[in-house]
Amino acid sequence: MAMSSIDYREKIPNNVNLTEDRGLRRALERWHPNYLDWWADTGPEGSQDFDVYLRTAVSVDPKGWAQFDHVKMPDYRWGIFLNIPGDPDRRIHFGDHKGEKAWHEYFGRDGRDEGEALLERRAGDDDNPRILSAFNEKTPDWLSLFMFTYFTDRDGKFQLCALAESGFDPLARTTKFMLTEEAHHMFVGETGVSRVVQRTCQVMNELKTDDPEKLRAAGVIDLETVQRYINFHYSVTIDLFGAEESSNAATFYSSGLKGRFGEGKRDDDHVLKDGTYKVLHLVNGALREVEVPMLNALNEVLRDDYITDSQGGISRWNKVIAKAGIAFRLQLPHKAFHRRIGSLAGVKASPEGRVSRDEEWHARVGEWLPTDEDRGFVASLMGRVVEPGKFANWIAPPVIGVNRQPVNFEYVRLG
């Protein structure tokens, strides 16, 4: 398809004057064909001609941000050029520039080059992978996808919330809008895992067993395996927040670029030169809390806010299990479990946070993280169910469809 055949002004929902903004249109004309290539390379095989029920944003008001319709994938348009209206009098509310007027100018050439480099990196690409490793992990089955959207999209929520506080106003506004996307992704993850758990509990009660082998033979995912998937996705995701102590994090904050989660609602001086924060270190073979300057610990502050938020879904999944009368409870592993970034990297801690010796770790890691056998079993369940209203054996039907559609709604018209 020739680039010039696409009328971006018509097809891209936007409120950023795309018609007149030639710079933005040029950037888009370069970016869009790459986006289509990416979808053709890495999207589901043979899916280009299906009408798929997809959500996009056409405006930033409450009615416009989630519009659904059937569309062929190559015709899909992201509502990425939408921005909530700016307040010209907005003030920077944290860091060394607190009280000054917010910045409204866009980045120059440096910013554009950085942006280009971001688009060249692809998740899982051997030659040019994403910088953050959680985004390169394989997502080969639906349980992985649900875990990714519950845990890893939630990292997105916290990063975006911190950037939504930015003194650089275009960044603050665009991230606020992107948060509406993240909310839907996390909903997919939370309800997905919940439905898996519900179906497993149903079969546990039918067969009156908690034996993983018997449950697997009945075609459902045992709760122990669900727990191992949680342990994996949670631990690789909390790595995304970076090192506990970071002078970059201090600089981003003090310069007014990146605030804390809920910065505006916090009751302190919003400069943080005096405060301290407790971070975990391995000291003489044991985990110890160490007080460090607050400004340097802002990655850890954000990670702790994330951890608190992550607990919500775990509690709701446990309610599903409790309601089925089953004693098993899912839990978040300890912060020190399976870390690869920061002061806890390489610590051989159990999910309960007990530091173990190498031999014990190797002997028990198969109880704590998904094994090849677990992944093979989950993969074996991933058959195709195409009849509207029918669901795979390993997952309970949803209470209601996406966009309040009936449960037998035809989301994909297979033609």
Cβ-Cβ contacts under 8 Å for 3 (sequence gap 6 or more)? 29, 32, 33
At position 16, the amino acid (one-letter code) is V
Binding to Fe ion in span 150-179, by CB under 5 A: 153, 156
Closest CB to Fe ion among 161 and 297?
Answer: 161
Map residues 359-378 to x or -, x wherever contact with Fe ion holds by CB under 5 A.
--------------------
**Residue with token string 């505006």:** 264
Residue 290 per-residue DSSP state:
E
* Paired tokens of 134: 């959680």
Distance CA(324)–CA(131), nearest Å, equals 42
Distance CA(206)–CA(395), nearest Å, equals 15
Q: Are 353 and 251 in contact (CB under 8 A)?
A: no
Closest CB to Fe ion among 156 and 370?
Answer: 156
Closest CB to Fe ion among 179 and 282?
Answer: 179
Closest CB to Fe ion among 153 and 245?
Answer: 153
Closest CB to Fe ion among 25 and 185?
Answer: 185
- Helix 22-42 and helix 109-120, axial crossing angle in degrees, nearest 10: 10
Closest CB to Fe ion among 149 and 166?
Answer: 149
**Residue with token string 């916290």:** 158
Q: How far is the CB of 181 from Fe ion (least distance, A)?
A: 6
Q: What is the dihedral of CA 162, 166, 170, 173, to 10 degrees?
A: 50
Element (H, E) at 364: helix 358-368
**Residue with token string 């709760």:** 223
Which stretch, 139-147, 181-189, 213-221, 341-349, contacts Fe ion (CB under 5 A)?
Answer: 181-189
At position 176, the amino acid (one-letter code) is K
Q: Are 54 and 68 in contact (CB under 8 A)?
A: yes
* Contact residue for Fe ion among 90, 98, 130, 185 (CB under 5 A): 185
Q: How far is the CB of 156 from Fe ion (least distance, A)?
A: 5
3-state DSSP call for residue 56? Answer: strand
Q: How far is the CB of 38 from Fe ion (least distance, A)?
A: 16
* Paired tokens of 12: 């891209």
Q: Is 93 in the site for Fe ion (CB under 5 A)?
A: no
Q: How far is the CB of 185 from Fe ion (least distance, A)?
A: 4
Q: How far is the CB of 396 from Fe ion (least distance, A)?
A: 24
Closest CB to Fe ion among 182 and 244?
Answer: 182
Q: How far is the CB of 205 from Fe ion (least distance, A)?
A: 34
Closest CB to Fe ion among 13 and 156?
Answer: 156
Q: Report how many residues bind Fe ion under the rule CB under 5 A.
A: 4
Distance CA(403)–CA(118), nearest Å, equals 32
Closest CB to Fe ion among 98 and 185?
Answer: 185
At position 323, the amino acid (one-letter code) is K
Secondary structure string (H, E, C) spanning 328-353:
CCCCCCCCCCCCCCHHHCCCCECCCC
Q: Are 310 and 151 in contact (CB under 8 A)?
A: yes
Distance CA(81)–CA(27), nearest Å, equals 12
Distance CA(224)–CA(241), nearest Å, equals 27
**How many CA within 13 A on the CB side of residue 15?**
15
Closest CB to Fe ion among 156 and 342?
Answer: 156
Q: How far is the CB of 13 from Fe ion (least distance, A)?
A: 18
Q: How far is the CB of 157 from Fe ion (least distance, A)?
A: 8
Closest CB to Fe ion among 182 and 239?
Answer: 182
φ, ψ of residue 304 in degrees (nearest 5): -65, -35
Q: How far is the CB of 153 from Fe ion (least distance, A)?
A: 4
Q: How far is the CB of 186 from Fe ion (least distance, A)?
A: 8
Order across the sheet with 67-72: list the strands.
Answer: 67-72, 51-56, 412-413
Residue numbers at the binding site for Fe ion (CB under 5 A): 153, 156, 182, 185
